A and B are shown apart, each in its own frame.
Chain A
Amino acid sequence: MTELARTRPESFFADRFNVTGGLLERVLGSNLLGRADDADIYLEYRVNEELQLEEGTVKKASRHVSQGAGVRALSGTRTGYAHTDDISLQNLEEAARQARAIADRAGVSGAVAVPSRGRPHDLYALAEPPLVTDLAKKLDLLRKVDGAARAADPRVKQVIASLTSEEVVTLVATASGWTVGDVRPLMRLNVTAIAEAGGKREIGAYGGGGRVAFDFFLEDGRWRRFALEAARQAVLKLGAVNAPAGTMTVVLGPGWPGILLHEAVGHGLEGDFNRKGTSAFAGRMGQKVASELVTVIDDGTIPNRRGSLNVDDEGTATGRTVLIEKGILVGYMQDRLNARLMGMAPTGNGRRESYAYPPMPRMTNTFMLGGEDEPEQIIKSVKRGLYAVTFGGGQVDITSGKFVFSASEAYLIEDGRVTAPVKGATLIGNGPDALTRVARVGRDLKLDEGVGTCGKEGQSVPVGVGLPTIRIDELTVGGTAV
């Protein structure tokens, strides 16, 4: 196996497909320049390996290769995009011709392409890239995970453990003449446990990873913690009571509950929705959209995080963008197209699922800064409410601002104490005012374990979130206990 992660993107694509920077410039120059406001070519090579253990044995092992090139021409608000999975000069020329057709119709708008920003970071150089690690070591880890989850409790009857290893090589060539590449490792360990007792069955899931090497899972017994967490959650839920229904005070635990930010404000602050005026946050720059305890940041530069990137998928270095500062809306996340049309700077948030899609503004790692309160004091301050610590997915209606996120592990709070575990329930709120009711912010900011995948307009990208313990007064909890 080629060691993708130790390669240089420029020489990788030159060696493998005979595609060099000069040639890309020629494709861009002869086909696109002078006819479009901006143009780029994106090359990608991806290898993904999945190992899955079920019923104590390795049931599934698979390896996937995908490669391709996307050519884009931008003119005014118009985007022409063509992609091919056969990287050759002839196909690149054809893709450029198709992408250009749209620009030809529009002509040049006169808006100047924004310059690139910053040099690429070096956030995830690994001594041993994910695909280099021996299969035997990976399979051994999965067996240990299975054993630990089963040993945790006799009620655990089924364990599914999977390990995904991926390496992606990218290269972007832009019309302004620069070429920038990245080599992106990504690993994820996932554990699902099913517990059974007294005719009831429940499921618990836990996992994590990032742009890390295999050894990440061995550090501090991380794999064991993941296994025990999945088992604990499954068993705990066997005894859960019906969740309450209605509006109440909700305390969110630290880490993954940061999905609240991703749904409540994150998507609404992506440049495209604001340029089009379809976001509930459109036109609210400089206004108060959260309590003064709330500062929200999107940061693509945290080393080894799942949502981090050295450069985004348009070649712009990622950055740290303050979205909300002490309650005031101060920033949007931008790609090149929307930055140009809004007269703002790109923020390194132009991302795409693969070469098959044009980029758009997306989040990286989105989190709230820690405050001053002790987490225990926050719980103590609640007379009756819900304490939610683990979540599944969430979703938002950008335009109305209504968002949901689903708690998979939650407890009642009664007279300042955490009491009975409750069944999963969806929480629903309104983005532009949910954060105005943040009454307490803990000092315990935690980033999630590295499991997030965000979907937008059919494109999935890895992301991270983070949150300290917070108290929100009045959030609607969708339980069944009236």
Chain B
Amino acid sequence: MNTDLLIGVLKRAVATGATAADGYLIEESAFGATVRLGEVETVTHSRDQRLSLRVFAGRASAGASTSDLSRESLERVVDEATSLAKVTAEDPFAGLPDPEELITGVPDLDLADASPALSPEEKIELARRCEAAALESDPRITNSEGAECHDRRARYLYATSHGFARDYATTSFGISVAPVATRNGEMQRDYWYSNARKRSRVEDPATVGRTAATRAVRRLGARKVRTVAVPVVFDPETAASLVRSIAGAASGPSLYRRASFLLDRLGTKIASPAVTIVDDALIPAGLGSRPFDGEGLSTGRTVLAREGVLESYLLDTYSARKLGMQSTHHAARDGSGVTVSTSNLMLLPGRATPSELIGSIKRGLYVTELIGFGVNNVTGDYSRGAAGLWIEDGELTYPVEEVTVAGNLLEMFQAIDAVGDDLVLRDRTAAPTLMIGRMVVAGS
């Protein structure tokens, strides 16, 4: 790892007029193979490195990043960032975290797979088996957008001009497939996937393929329903997207810009008592786990909402100071500076099985897919395209498409009548099946 290189860059920043600086260096290599209808379609190999830098001139700051790590290029990046910092405004809240707050030991979160890497041919074979299982599982699966197998190895290094430097390594491995089902000229596509830090934790490719096929086939014959206000059940995948919206509204930058529907709601009821939302960065081998945040601060478990009451925002050092609070150690680096991101974000499970939730509804919609961007982070107003299955007398009946589901996120979370018991950490954000008492489904 180029620790010396990053420290050299930070030293140069201070030597050329910056009062402080911090930087992040990411080195990664990745492989991806797609197979379509049994034939290899694309194989990609990549190797990347990227250095991002934040410099302070007193209370003013600027950012820079580069993938060109040659000496001349790095010197130019430092000089440009330092001169940019001189044109930005003084901001009393800008600055690095206090050095004594920085993490001392890096916890081992078991984020890197020690097992030997597979050869490209072996990874291609996994994608092939995944797609084959989808194609063979039902005669109505007639086509495919392909299956993919990918893996990635990365190392993250964070350093400050005060001399702090810590790093950690991660791996990830995943397979996915998107089969197409056909009947009477109608085509429906769906998707399934399995991702993990370690290959041994990735689901069997054939299971992934069969799940994807089942999801595609059950959409055949989909129709619109009449416009109506009914209970709506979100499956775990779509429920996770609702939880992501809550996290977005709870993040520091949205709050200090007053662009959040959770503004001034700390300590108040924002959801039904069935809702507890937690962000936990320390889950061993978790896809969203990280031993320290983007400013070198220790990570942990944050309860966002406990039994419906908003308990914490998600803050980095800057947004915390600006709001007169403490960082919750949720800083993340993007190319241009520091932002806020969640780690392993989840809505904790309840007691009901998904079929009990569905069984409790006379007439309603079970949502399995959402499309579009109709979420207003300032007001919470929500309107998205949906596909799923119609619920009639407690049973899933025919598939539904070309409808929207609409409401307001605050009202929707207050109206979560029941939470399923089926939480699985398939991704960085996860939720169990959720039932919302009333939403407007717009169709014909």
Taking a contact as CB atoms closer than 8 A, the residue among A276, A403, A424, A482 that contacts B36 in the complex is A276
A98 CA / B119 CA spacing, docked (Å): 13
Residues of A within 8 A of B222 (CB): 400
A8 at the interface (CB under 8 A from B): no
Query: What per-residue 1/0 map shows which CB atoms of A268-285 lie under 8 Å from chain B?
Result: 000000001110100000
A203 to nearest B CB, angstroms?
4
B14 at the interface (CB under 8 A from A): no
A194 CA / B263 CA spacing, docked (Å): 13
A141 to nearest B CB, angstroms?
13
Residues of B within 8 A of A423 (CB): 379, 381
Q: Is A399 in contact with B372, judged by CB distance below 8 angstroms?
A: no
B25 to nearest A CB, angstroms?
13
A406 CA / B72 CA spacing, docked (Å): 46
B89 at the interface (CB under 8 A from A): yes
Q: Is B387 in contact with A476, judged by CB distance below 8 angstroms?
A: no
B residues 360-412 near A (Cβ < 8 Å) are: 369, 371-374, 376-379, 381, 383-385, 387, 401-408
Q: Which among A65-73, A290-298, A308-316 touches the partner chain?
A: A65-73
Residues of B within 8 A of A406 (CB): 372-374, 383
Taking a contact as CB atoms closer than 8 A, the residue among A77, A98, A192, A426 that contacts B384 in the complex is A426
A429 at the interface (CB under 8 A from B): yes
Number of A-B contacts (CB under 8 A): 262
Residues of A within 8 A of B81 (CB): 62-63
A85 at the interface (CB under 8 A from B): yes
Taking a contact as CB atoms closer than 8 A, the residue among B62, B68, B91 that contacts A65 in the complex is B68
B188 at the interface (CB under 8 A from A): yes
Evaluate whether A400 and B187 lie within 8 angstroms (CB atoms) in the complex, with A50-B336, A62-B337 already known: yes
A135 CA / B80 CA spacing, docked (Å): 12
B residues 1-55 near A (Cβ < 8 Å) are: 36, 39-50
A395 CA / B385 CA spacing, docked (Å): 9
A280 CA / B189 CA spacing, docked (Å): 11
Closest to A247 in B: B444
Residues of B within 8 A of A245 (CB): 227, 404, 406, 440, 442
A102 at the interface (CB under 8 A from B): yes
Q: Is A65 in contact with B73, judged by CB distance below 8 angstroms?
A: yes
Residues of B within 8 A of A192 (CB): 259
Q: Which among A51-59, A179-187, A327-335 touches the partner chain?
A: A51-59
Evaluate whether A60 and B336 lie within 8 angstroms (CB atoms) in the complex, with A139-B87, A479-B406 already known: yes
B268 at the interface (CB under 8 A from A): no
Evaluate whether A77 and B36 lie within 8 angstroms (CB atoms) in the complex, with A60-B336, A399-B180 already known: yes
Q: Is A480 in contact with B440, judged by CB distance below 8 angstroms?
A: yes
Taking each of A106, A135, A426, A481, which has the highest tally of chain B beta carbons within 10 Å of its own beta carbon?
A426
Residues of B within 8 A of A224 (CB): none
A residues 152-177 near B (Cβ < 8 Å) are: 157-158, 160
Taking a contact as CB atoms closer than 8 A, the residue among B48, B49, B63, B444 that contacts A246 in the complex is B444
A350 at the interface (CB under 8 A from B): no
Q: Is B385 in contact with A482, judged by CB distance below 8 angstroms?
A: no
B88 at the interface (CB under 8 A from A): yes
Q: Is B372 in contact with A482, judged by CB distance below 8 angstroms?
A: no
Evaluate whether A201 and B258 lie within 8 angstroms (CB atoms) in the complex, with A63-B80, A82-B46 already known: yes
Q: Is B143 in contact with A425, judged by CB distance below 8 angstroms?
A: no
Residues of B within 8 A of A67 (CB): 67-68
Residues of A within 8 A of B145 (CB): 276, 278, 399
Residues of A within 8 A of B257 (CB): 54, 158, 160, 194
Q: Is B36 in contact with A400, judged by CB distance below 8 angstroms?
A: no
Residues of B within 8 A of A105 (CB): 40
Closest to A277 in B: B143
Taking a contact as CB atoms closer than 8 A, the residue among A81, A398, A476 that contacts B402 in the complex is A476
A416 to nearest B CB, angstroms?
24
Q: Is B228 in contact with A400, judged by CB distance below 8 angstroms?
A: no
Interface size class of B (residues with CB under 8 A): 35 or more
Taking a contact as CB atoms closer than 8 A, the residue among B44, B84, B144, B336 that contacts A82 in the complex is B44
Q: Is A202 in contact with B63, judged by CB distance below 8 angstroms?
A: no
Residues of B within 8 A of A50 (CB): 336
A284 to nearest B CB, angstroms?
11
A136 at the interface (CB under 8 A from B): yes
A136 to nearest B CB, angstroms?
7
A346 to nearest B CB, angstroms?
18
Evaluate whether A395 and B67 lie within 8 angstroms (CB atoms) in the complex, with A246-B442, A476-B404 already known: no
Taking each of A84, A101, A157, A203, which has the highest tally of chain B beta carbons within 10 Å of its own beta carbon?
A203
Residues of B within 8 A of A160 (CB): 257
A400 CA / B66 CA spacing, docked (Å): 41
B64 at the interface (CB under 8 A from A): yes
A371 at the interface (CB under 8 A from B): no
Query: What per-residue 1/0 map shows which CB atoms of A399-424 lie under 8 Å from chain B?
Result: 11011111000000000000000011
A390 at the interface (CB under 8 A from B): no
Taking a contact as CB atoms closer than 8 A, the residue among A63, A405, A425, A480 that contacts B84 in the complex is A63
Residues of B within 8 A of A403 (CB): 385
Q: Is A202 in contact with B444, judged by CB distance below 8 angstroms?
A: no
Evaluate whether A78 and B41 lie within 8 angstroms (CB atoms) in the complex, with A399-B180, A477-B442 already known: yes
Q: Is B43 in contact with A404, judged by CB distance below 8 angstroms?
A: no
A292 CA / B418 CA spacing, docked (Å): 50
Taking a contact as CB atoms closer than 8 A, the residue among B84, B227, B384 that contacts A62 in the complex is B84
A200 CA / B442 CA spacing, docked (Å): 26
Taking each of B66, B68, B257, B406, which has the highest tally of chain A beta carbons within 10 Å of its own beta carbon?
B406
Residues of B within 8 A of A398 (CB): 189
Taking each of B143, B258, B381, which has the highest tally of chain A beta carbons within 10 Å of its own beta carbon?
B381
Q: Is A65 in contact with B63, judged by CB distance below 8 angstroms?
A: no
B344 to nearest A CB, angstroms?
22
Q: Is B45 in contact with A82, judged by CB distance below 8 angstroms?
A: yes
Q: Is A426 in contact with B88, judged by CB distance below 8 angstroms?
A: no
Q: Is A482 in contact with B229, judged by CB distance below 8 angstroms?
A: yes
A160 CA / B258 CA spacing, docked (Å): 11
Residues of A within 8 A of B384 (CB): 404, 426, 478
B359 at the interface (CB under 8 A from A): no
Taking Cβ atoms with an 8 Å cutoff, the residues of A that contact B are 1, 50, 54, 57-68, 76-86, 95, 98-99, 101-102, 105-106, 135-136, 139, 157-158, 160, 192, 194, 196, 200-203, 243, 245-247, 276-278, 280, 356, 358, 392-400, 402-406, 423-426, 428-430, 476-482
Instruction: Pull 7 A–B residue pairs with CB atoms less than 8 Å apart, ordered by A.
Output: A85-B48, A192-B259, A194-B258, A202-B379, A278-B180, A278-B187, A402-B371
For the A-B complex with A395-B372, A400-B387 known, give 17 more contacts whose Cβ atoms are closer than 8 Å.
Answer: A50-B336, A57-B91, A58-B87, A61-B88, A62-B335, A65-B66, A79-B43, A82-B44, A194-B378, A203-B259, A247-B227, A247-B443, A404-B385, A406-B373, A430-B402, A476-B402, A476-B444
Q: Which 7 A-B pairs have the closest CB atoms?
A: A478-B404, A57-B89, A62-B63, A404-B372, A399-B189, A404-B385, A426-B374
